[in-house]
Amino acid sequence: MGAVAAAMKERGITVTGSDERIYPPMSTFLEESGVEIVEGYRASNIPESADVIIIGNTISRGNEEAEEALNRKLLYQSLPEVLKDQFLRGKRNLVVTGTHGKTTTSAILTWVLQSAGREPGYMIGGIPGNLGRGACFTDSELNVLEGDEYDTAFFDKRSKFLHYLPEFVIINNIEFDHADIYDSLDEIKLTFRRLLNIVPGGGLAVVNGDDCNVLDVIEGAPCPVRTLGFGKRCDMRIEDVSYETDGSSFTLVDERYTIPMVGEFNVRNAAMAVAGGMFAGLRSDEVRSAFASFEGIARRQQLRGEVRGIRVIDDFAHHPTAIRLAVQALRQRYPDARLWVVFEPRSNTTRRNIFQSELAEALASADRAVVPAIADPEKFAKEERLDPEQLVRDIDAGGGQGVYLPTVEEIAGHVVAEAAAGDVVAILSNGGFGGLHGILLERLAEAATGK
């Protein structure tokens, strides 16, 4: 929402907005873009002269501003509708999907095209270092879109990516997620099948050939499909992978590539971006050049600071698989460090007990794991709610070392007291985590100076 708001502002449209919680990096980006945003939802926030009300998919009936739009019979649209009508129709749209890796893959592919002079439009659910913003729509025939399977709006329950008019689709992986809108993995598979149903015959879907759920989805697909992965049966095979502390190298279709990112999942993300670049007509040397200058994405294994020899990392991971892969990558990047993972169960899925055991297994792979109380527990029945204290007991039983600390202040105090020089503290959340990153760095600095 924020990135598209800034893109519309750049087109000369007056844009204002509201959100329940405002935090960096998006709040800073919006301020710099000149988009006025207020905290809290009130009917008075909607200007009398508003032409269109864009309603995000976190808004439900009962929201004061949504009710005002309905009562005043204003024109309202979902964000994907606006994108389709204003930015995507008639273009070559490259849509990146999957449970994990969408933001990173979209950012890499966008930078590959940008570096090669193609000036693509793009919409990414993060802020890539090379681009400085999450959305920009240009006169180019190419658009790169992070395609989310989450529903569109309270008045449109289709997945967002079904609005994006895809010519080229990447499916990174498929797992159960979004328990607030999907009852089963089969329902998620169905929406991905619907996505493949709208890829034209002259288009292409490149999918993870190592993922059994993805292979199930592509069976009988009406569009051209190519599998990509590490397995021998993949049409495009990732081979000869090597990992260093500052990057990874691999071979794909007889070409060697190096990306300044670590972890198996980032190799796969980069390989998918290679496939997207090839579809758009790029040469392998253009892709290699772009990889060498890729700067990553805010909140994806981002080093926020180092105090007393303790590194504080910000990461977006909020699913057991993403946590496990994040730990794996951090081990490769910091092989001699003691690794702390501070995980905030914040999504509608992780605040439920659906992944109670899977979260414990993933967090036990760190040297230290810290878990807070879940936010707004009253939104979930007790028998459906994640039990963070039981989660910590399960982490310990799985060979890890966990601690339950309900508040941000308690977490910061514990880490300051227990962490030592050489440690890496990874803070994992899909939200602001109460400003823990800054608080922790501040407390570490105070401890270092004896204040």
| Residue in 134, 214, 129 with CA at minimum distance from that of residue 169 | 214
Q: How far, in Å, are 59, 77, 82 from residue 53 at the CA level?
A: 12, 6, 10
Could you tell me which CATH number the domain at 80-292 has? 3.40.1190.10
Fold (topology level) of 2-74:
Rossmann fold (3.40.50)
Helix axes 284-292, 102-115, angle to 10 degrees: 110
Instruction: Using only the alpha carbons of the chain, give its radius of gyration.
Output: 22
Q: 167: exposed, middle or buried (C-beta count within 10 Å: 0-12, 13-18, 19+)?
A: buried
At the top level of CATH, the class of 302-449 is alpha beta
What is the pLDDT of the chain when averaged over all its residues?
92
Q: Which tokens in the block code for residue 266? A: 């980032």
| Residue in 187, 228, 235 with CA at minimum distance from that of residue 211 | 228
Q: What is the mean pLDDT of residues 183-209?
A: 97
How far is Cα 113 from Cα 280, in angstroms, rounded to an integer?
8
Q: Do 324 and 362 meet the contact criterion of CB atoms below 8 Å apart?
A: yes
Element (H, E) at 151: strand 151-153
Contacts of 351 (CB under 8 A, 6+ apart): 345, 374, 375, 376, 377, 379, 380, 385, 386
How far is Cα 331 from Cα 2, in angstroms, rounded to an integer?
33
- pLDDT tens, position by position, 290-337: 999 998 777 777 889 999 899 999 988 778 888 888 898 899 889 889
Q: Do 314 and 299 meet the contact criterion of CB atoms below 8 Å apart?
A: yes
SS3 content of the chain, % helix, strand, coil (to 5): 35, 25, 40
- Please give the pLDDT value at position 333: 87
How far is Cα 433 from Cα 127, in angstroms, rounded to an integer?
18
Is the C-alpha dihedral spanning 314, 316, 322, 325 positive or negative? negative
- Please give the pLDDT value at position 350: 85
Q: What is the mean pLDDT of residues 260-285?
A: 95
Q: Report residue 382: phi and psi, to 5°.
A: -55, -40
> Tokens 């990392």, residue?
313
Residue 272 has pLDDT above 80, yes or no: yes
Q: What is the mean pLDDT of residues 17-37?
A: 88
Residue 355 has pLDDT above 70, yes or no: yes
Residue 194 has pLDDT above 90, yes or no: yes
332: helix, strand or coil: helix
**Can you say how many angstroms the Cα of residue 323 is from the centroid of all Cα atoms in its chain?**
12
Residue 25 has pLDDT above 80, yes or no: no
How far is Cα 383 from Cα 366, in angstroms, rounded to an integer?
28
Pairing of strands 368-371, 339-343: parallel
How far is Cα 338 from Cα 327, in angstroms, rounded to an integer?
11
- pLDDT tens, position by position, 404-446: 999 999 999 999 999 999 999 999 988 788 889 899 999 998 8
Q: Where are the domains of the chain?
A: 2-74, 80-292, 302-449
